[in-house]
Amino acid sequence: MKESELQKLVEELSLIYFNKPFRHRALFNSRLRTTGGRYLLHTHNIEINKKYYEQFGEKELVDIIKHELCHYHLHLEGKGYRHRDPDFRKLLKEVDAPRFCSPLPEYRKRRKSSKIIIYSCKSCNQVYKRRRSINISRYVCGKCRGKLIKIKELTSE
């Protein structure tokens, strides 16, 4: 799919589902990693992750576009356009758009195979599980301010 086809699709979906024109640009952004698309507040453009179209097909692409158009139209009308706003949630239901997109298989795989490091407090034995290692000489227990020690490192494959 070309960007001109994406632009045309976004304009059509805007008229079909929202009865309002889309007057800005819709484009593919290959740098998006974990999200299907995003609405840019300053330019009012919509960026779409092309990987979602390539891996899930046109239905997922249409769902992502409807979601981003909800942000777009609500923001331009001065209503609540954020995920937590009631206006946004109501409009999502009206146009049958998902609140979140499906995770890409490659991202899901990367998340599952990550390591988990377990730290414990010497004083109160509070346990902390972290995906990233921390500098135990700089950080202390959040409960009692005691010294932390590294217990073990788990890797899940």
pLDDT in tens, 17-74: 999 999 999 999 989 888 999 999 999 999 999 999 999 999 999 999 999 999 999 9
DSSP-derived letter for residue 57 is: -
pTM over 0.75: no
My answer on whether 96 and 148 are in the same domain is no
Q: How far apart are CA 84 and CA 87, in angstroms?
A: 9
In this structure, the answer to whether residues 129 and 52 fall within a common structural domain is no
Q: Order of strands, edge to edge, in the sheet holding 148-155?
A: 127-130, 115-121, 148-155
For residues 94 and 132, state if they share a domain.
no
Residues 48 and 13: their CA atoms lie apart, in Å, by 14
Strands 115-121, 127-130: parallel, antiparallel or unpaired by DSSP? antiparallel
CA distance 118 to 98: 35
Residue 82 has pLDDT above 90, yes or no: yes
pLDDT at 104: 81
d(CA 74, CA 141): 43
Q: State the Cα–Cα distance between residues 153 and 149, nearest whole angstrom.
A: 12
CA distances from 131 to 55, 125, 147 (A): 28, 19, 19
- Do 98 and 120 belong to one domain? no
Same domain, 14 and 73: yes
137 in the same domain as 68: no
User: Which residue range(s) make up the domain with 121?
Assistant: 113-155
Same domain flag for 121 and 98: no
- What confidence score (pLDDT) does residue 112 get? 55
Give me the active site residues, please.
68
21's tokens: 């024109």
